[in-house]
Structures are given as C-alpha cells and as structure tokens.
A and B are shown apart, each in its own frame.
Chain A
C-alpha cells in the first residue's frame, strides 16, 4: 500500500526565518511524482512545488525548495524568508501513476509569527 506521512501537525516560524516541513512516503513504484500543496484559510488548494522521482535534482520554486531523498523515501519542504502569507496548511502528496490519484498526508499547519 502507498502511504504518505507528515509527522508534524503544526509548525511555527518567525517571519523572515527558514522552516522545514517533513514528509515521508512509501511506494513500490519506481516512477512517481511528489507534490507539496498549500491550503490557506480560503481552502483553495495551491500547488507549491512538484518533484519527479526520476530526477535527482531537487526542485526549487523561488523561496520554496525540496530535499528529495529517494532511497530514504523522504520529501521535505524548505521555506526560506518566511512571509505572513505563507501561513496555511501544507499537504504532501504522492501521485499514483497507474490511475492518477493522489495519496495525501495528514497535513502540517504552518504558523508565521510576525
């Protein structure tokens, strides 16, 4: 069975500091995608960053970057220079290629302290 685990229900960080959100997963497939989604209070799901498993290079999108450790099945998200607008629920998700479904983690609530 494929699973995604986010062990941090809540994290807080001072504005302008850096925070890392953890995600581990389990899959028997060799080719897959991993995603981080942000869900602000509006509840609109917003894609933050994606990583193809076959790519060794870690994905980066401006202040957001991942640390993808395929052998360890770890996919953490680093947010640099945290801003008040980054406050949201963050969900890690694994894309199941066979039927295009997403397997979701439980989420991490990120609080930004001004």
Chain B
C-alpha cells in the first residue's frame, strides 16, 4: 500500500516549451502533496506544498508563475514547468501525505527533466 507514481519518469524538451509532470497516489487519498527538486549529489529542496482544492504554498525563491502546481483531486497533483530553460533541468520528486497513514510522506520515483 501507499504507492505514489510519477509520470513521465524522464522527459526531454526544447527551451521555451512547457512540461507537465503528474503525481498520483494510487491506493490512498493524499490531503497534502509536496514537490521537491534535487540537484546531483544534493539533498531535496522543497519547492511547494499543495493541499487538495486550494492554492499551493511556494517556498521562498521558487517562482510560482514558472512552476505551476495544481492539486485538483485527492489523488492527483501536477507540476507544470512553463517556458522551460536549460537551468530548469533537474530531478523532480513528489511526495504525498495522508493523515490516516502514520502521518508519513510517501515518495514518487521522480522525474528527470532535461531542457535542451
């Protein structure tokens, strides 16, 4: 139980295009989802916290117009990188939390984004 999926696992796009990454909780309802960015050999950097049905809360320094987060249902959150540039290339990880499952975060497998 408590599985989180991400799609796609890997995406390559041209500079200036937008890319959408999906995060789904497969067997539980996630009241809160988190989006992280991870640079090579570094720790996870929290980008934003999203609660179902409300606007995401972005961490300081994260451009909300560039990284659009939608949490429209209890099992799906999306991260859209708008007008992507090479510096947006990174590994993006989502996690989902249910207050009914040990108050724990469950992680997706991550998405590697490469912007050419």
Binding site for A on B (CB under 8 A): 32, 34, 38, 42-44, 46, 49, 91, 93, 95, 97, 102-105, 107, 109-110
Q: How far is the CA of A91 from the CA of B45 in the complex (A)?
A: 12
A47 in contact (CB, < 8 A): yes
Binding site for B on A (CB under 8 A): 33, 42-47, 50, 91, 95, 99-102, 104-107
**Chain B, Cβ-Cβ closest to A107:** B43
- Is B109 touching A43 in the complex (CB atoms < 8 A)? yes
- Is B43 touching A101 in the complex (CB atoms < 8 A)? no
- Is B49 touching A99 in the complex (CB atoms < 8 A)? yes
Q: How far is the CA of A91 from the CA of B44 in the complex (A)?
A: 9
A90 to chain B, nearest CB (A): 11
Q: How far is the CA of A104 from the CA of B38 in the complex (A)?
A: 12
Q: How far is the CA of A45 from the CA of B104 in the complex (A)?
A: 13
